[in-house]
Each structure stands twice: as C-alpha cells, then as structure tokens.
Structure 1
Amino acid sequence: MPYSSSPPQIPTASRTPAPSTDEATQSIAILGLGAIGTLMAWHWREHVLYGITRDNSRCQRTLIDQQQTAHSLTLPTWQHEAIDWLVITTKASATLEALQSVANQLPQVQNILLLQNGMGQQQQVSDWLSQQQCSANLWAGISTEGAYRQNTEQVVYAGSGDTHIGLWQAQHPTASIPNGLTVVDDIQQRIRAKLAINAVINPLTAVFRCRNGELVSHDEYRQALKELATEVQQCFETLQQPLNFDLTERSLAVAEATAANQSSTLQDVLHQRPTELDYINGYLIRQAQQLNIELPLNRRLLAQLS
C-alpha cells in the first residue's frame, strides 16, 4: 500500500523547531519500523520517540535481544510535534514516497536521517527537499548492526555493530546526535564502500539461496563472488570513484565474519518481498550506462531476482 497518492506540498511559511532543551534527550520519529527501525527504537528508548505507520496506528513491536530477552516497544504516532530527528528506515525504493507522505509535518523537523542500504535515494530526497524549500538538515547513514524480522511485530537483534552518519551535503548545523550514532565527514565514500560489498554478497546469496558463509566455503559460489567483485570494482574505477580496498578480499572477509547470517536480499526473496537491489546493483548499472559501460553479471543477477 503506498504512503500517499498525492503528496502535499511543504508550506513555504514555516517555523524551525527549537532544539531540545535537554541535550541528552532527543525527540525522534521513526518512519519504517522494520528490522533496523525497531532496533534503533530500542537503542533510543530513553529518548522521546514517535512512530509513523501507514494507518496512523500506535506502533507496537517486540525486540528480542542477543540474550534472547524480549522487550516490548510501544511508540505513539507522530502528530505534528516539533522533533529533532525524523529517521527513515524504509526500503530505499520507498524513501521519497514515504517522505512525501509527511510533507505537511516537515516544517516541524530539524534533521532528517536516511538510514538504509543502497544509493540513489539520498540524492532524490535532497533534490526534492530543495524544491520544497525545506530547511531540515539531510543526513545519510549506514549501519553494520544485524537485525531481522521474525514476523510482522517481532525483530531479532542478531549482532551488534556500528552506525555512522554524515551530512549529505556540506553544511555546518548545530545538532545533538542520538546515542549510538557516530558522525563522519566521508559518509558518501562509506556508503559507496558498503554498496560495493552488498552488490556482491546480497544478490549471490539470494540466487544461491545460501547463508553468507557458503560464499566462502562452496567452490562454485566463491568463484561467482570473485567474478562479480571484479566487475563491481572495475565499475567504480571507471566511474572515477575507486574503492580503497580489494573488493574480492573484503567481500570474502565480510561473508566469513557473518557466516551464519542471511543477507537482507535473501530474507526478502524467501518472504516474497521486493528487494533493494534496484538501489544497489541497479544503481551501479544506471551509473555505468552514462559512460556506455556494460555490467553483464550485475544485469543478469538483477534480472534473475526481479
């Protein structure tokens, strides 16, 4: 179900919400309470939290931590309160539509954070916010936290990690940062690096229906990883955005370190959900097209999983 069929425009005359008086406490609304959204809500449970759902109902989730303890989370619906952060954790393909669904409330927002896989949606959002003359600061982030949905209301915390965020474009706002987030100056480079690894591991685990570690231990899968990693690395070099590491070695290391994990793409395929590959491998294909570069392995995998 779409968030909104005809997104309202952001009012041009709007006020900027005042920052939180208590620097330790942030007001945060989360749009997209799937795996990562629920996990971040649990991390931020000491803050003032709101949820955003399609039907404006109260958001109830259960987070099962790494000690197998269940934590119940209930978030009230965001109702135009001034907030420090609007955090979007939807699938990349749903980002702009989700944001447009709350367009009338954006004057109440100080900072917008896109915490997702993939690339391309960040610039789409940036361009749209500029058109709407929205004054909120746009941040992008990546996370190595592991979480997956056990069902529609339960999320399992599978592994701790780091979450890095940075301003999408050069700005110098004064913002209090919620706990668990580390601000970096090179967020676009970090997103590209994660996208490169995801472009190798995610489609292969989904095609082979295997856990990450089998890409290392299974000879056929390992060879496919090497070939795909080579194509992706050459793509970034041709785009004059070279990676500062060997993608084959890094992909094998990540697959081995997360051997028992199912990639998010494999989870989507197994649950018959749309994948994010159009904003991972698809993003690379579109970038390469602009230079008349062919990525046959990426194209074939994307076609198999579409």
Structure 2
Amino acid sequence: MANWNILGAGAIGHFFAEKLLKSGQHAAFVLRPESDAHIRSFNFENLAGENTTNTVMAQGKLTPKCDFLLVTLKAQDVLPALTLLQSQIDKHCCIVLLHNGMGTAEQTEKLFPRHAIMVGTTSNGVLKVSEHIRHTGAGVTWLGPFNNQAKRYKDIANQLFALEELTWCEDIREKLWLKLVINCAINPLTAIHQCKNGELACPALYPHVVKLVQELALVCEKARLPWSYAELQAHVDNVITRTAENYSSMHQDQHFNRKSEIDYITGYVLKVANAYSIPVPANQALYAQIKQQETKLVS
C-alpha cells in the first residue's frame, strides 16, 4: 500500500482521493500550512448515481513517509505551494503533476532536481459542490515520466487497479500537447465571450477556432509532434461537440473574477512559438485580452 498525499482539495483532487482509497492506497489532503489537522468526510457520486462516503485526513503538512505527492492545483499555484513544502518532501517522494497547461514540470525540476517527477492529464468530468463530489463524465487519465527518475514507476497503473481508465504513457509529452492544443482553442474564447463550449461551433465564433488551430498546428509541426492541422481540428471539434453544455475552467475563472491558467496554456504556446520564430497573432491577441481582464481584477 502506497502513501499518497494530495495537494489540491478541489474536484479532481477529491476524485483521485476516492479512487486511491478504493484501490487500497492511503490518501490524505495537504492544505494550507496554517490549517489545523482534521478528518474530512466527502460524498462521492459515480456515473451510475451511486453514492459512497469517504473519510481522509486533511492537514497543513505532508504525512510521514509520503511515497507520492499528487498535485492537482491550478498551474499558477503549483510552484508557490511546492516551495512552501520543500523541506518536507523526502528525496524518495515522487511528485505527480496533474493539471491543465504545461510549464510547471520544468519549474518543479529546478526546485527538486533529484526527485522523480511524473506528469499527467485527465479527461474525466468532475463537479464539486461543498463536500459532494459528482463524477459527471467518463474519461481517460494518462500518466508518464517527466524525467528519467520517474521511469521506474511504470507499474503505477497496475497499483491503481480500481482506476480502470488510468494508463501509463512512456511518451506523455504527446498527450499533454494534445490537451494543451484543445485548451488553447476552447478556453480563452469561451472566457472572452462568456459562453458554453458548444457555442464555439456557431458561425460567429467557429472561424476564430479554426484560426487558432491553424496556428497551433504550425507550432506542433516545428515541435516535432505527429498531428496535421486536420487531425488537430477534428480533436478540437470533437471536444466542442462532446462538452457542448460545459463551461470551460477559464470561463469559470473569468465569471468568478479569479486568475486563470492562461500563462500555462496559451502563454506556454507563445513561448514555444517565439523560440521557433512562428507568428501566432490570433493566439497572441487572446492571451493579451485575458491578461488585460486579469489586470483589472487585481486593480
């Protein structure tokens, strides 16, 4: 039985807590450092509408001998949170990053150069309302090694047998980039226009989606990723259709006046595009709009 600590007690964090407990692992939430230790109970509703109640320890520090630290925070919160916990994270602890966007793994490796670092992505839909967690959409979770130290954890998918949709991916980079392209094409537009994902298929907005994906395809080509423009557009269109009634995370951030993950989504693509001298004006314009709106929130 492995000892898992979960940094990020949101919907996805609770989703994986339930799966870890179900598979016989030990799980605990890591909260803000000033938080008092307490037992947390939460209700989990699966896709069939069946409910179970789970209890986990929640505290402001890591539990002793933490084997895996699963980080499900928003991308911009990952480095500050890990910095606060740096002295507590044992050299044998594997850090697992699971969130939207890219760029935090590189930051984490600078902070923990000798640690195993895994990265992943999930397409599961999960909704958290107070202490009730509802699995709203079936998806797949991919985990893989960011560095060589993490390659020895290839059997992790076998350990988590209850999480049947979890798959180990040796070349996780491709999975992360595909999710990044989809997020770049959907999230900023839905945030700017305050619309559901499905509304991007309307005649007024879909040409903007196409332009974004065309630019993203050029970046992917230079980055030696395997998809053509047509393949990327098909992936994006599929997600728009499949999640038509959903609000993207960036839409929700804008709606509730929160800072978004734009720097780790479109911002990450802009850095790569700049490194290859690829003009991406449509993506650049959306990034600037989101950043301008977030500046107003701060002021």
Specify the TM-score bucket, using the shorter chain as the normaliser.
Answer: 0.7 to 0.9
Q: Secondary structure of the equivalent of 2:119? A: strand
CA distance in 2 between counterparts of 1:248 and 1:59 reads 46
CA distance in 2, matches of 1:258, 1:91: 21
Tell me if 1:33 matches 2:9. Answer: yes
Measured after TM superposition, the shift of residue 80 of structure 1 is: 4.3
Q: Is 1:279 equivalent to 2:236 in the alignment?
A: no
Residue 206 of structure 2 corresponds to 222
Q: Which residue in 2 is equivalent to 1:258? A: 243
Work out which of the residue numbers 137, 143, 163 in structure 2 matches 1:165. 143
Q: 1:264 to 1:81 in 2, by over 3 A?
A: same
Partner in structure 1 of residue 42 of structure 2: 62
Aligned to 1:100, the other structure's residue is in SS state helix
Q: Distance in 1 between matches of 2:172 and 2:71?
A: 16
In the TM superposition, what are the counterparts of 1:175-186 in structure 2 within 5 Å? 177=156, 178-179=159-160, 180=163, 181-186=166-171
Between the aligned residues of both structures, percent identity stands at: 29
- C-alpha contact (below 8 Å) 1:35/1:147 kept by paired residues: yes
Distance 2:277 2:153 in 1: 42
Alignment TM-score, normalising by the size of structure 2:
0.84
Partner of 1:246, secondary structure, is helix
Residue ranges of structure 1 left out of the alignment (5+ in a row): 1-24
Cα separation, 1, equivalents of 2:53 and 2:250: 26
User: CA–CA distance in 1 between the matches of 2:279 and 2:129?
Assistant: 38
1:52 pairs with 30, 34, 41, which one? Answer: 30
2:28–2:63: 8 Å Cα contact kept in structure 1?
no
- Corresponding residue pairs, total: 276
- RMSD value, Cα: 2.2
1:89 aligned partner? 72
For 2:182, which of 167, 178, 197 is the aligned residue? 197
User: 2:214 matched to 1:236?
Assistant: no
The one-letter code of the counterpart of 1:43 is K
1:12 match: none
Deviation of 1:293 after TM superposition, in Å, equals 2.6
- Aligned match of 1:103: 86
What is aligned with 1:76?
Answer: 58
- The equivalent of 1:207 in structure 2 is 192
Residue 291 (structure 1) aligned to one of 258, 265, 276: 276
Contact 1:42 1:63 (8 Å CA) reproduced: no
- Cα distance, 1:173–1:302 mapped onto 2, change above 3 Å: same
Report the CA distance shift for 1:122/1:108 in structure 2 as closer, same or farther (over 3 A).
Answer: closer
TM superposition shift of 1:141: 0.5
Greater fraction of residues in helix: 2
Deviation digits for residues 209-229 of structure 1, max 9, x if unmatched? Answer: 11112222x111222111111
Deviations 1:55-78 (A, max 9, x none): 333373634524174745442324
**Which residue of 110, 129, 140 corresponds with 1:127?**
110
**CA-CA distance at 1:108 after TM superposition:** 6.1
Q: State whether residues 42 and 73 of structure 1, in contact with CA within 8 Å, keep that contact through their aligned partners in structure 2.
A: no
Letter in 1 for 2:152: P
Structure 1's 102 and 242: CA in aligned 2 closer, same or farther, altered over 3 A? same
2:7·2:70 contact (CA, 8 Å) conserved in 1?
Answer: yes
- Whole-Å separation in 2 of the counterparts to 1:282 and 1:148: 27
- Quote how far apart the aligned CAs of 1:43 are: 1.5
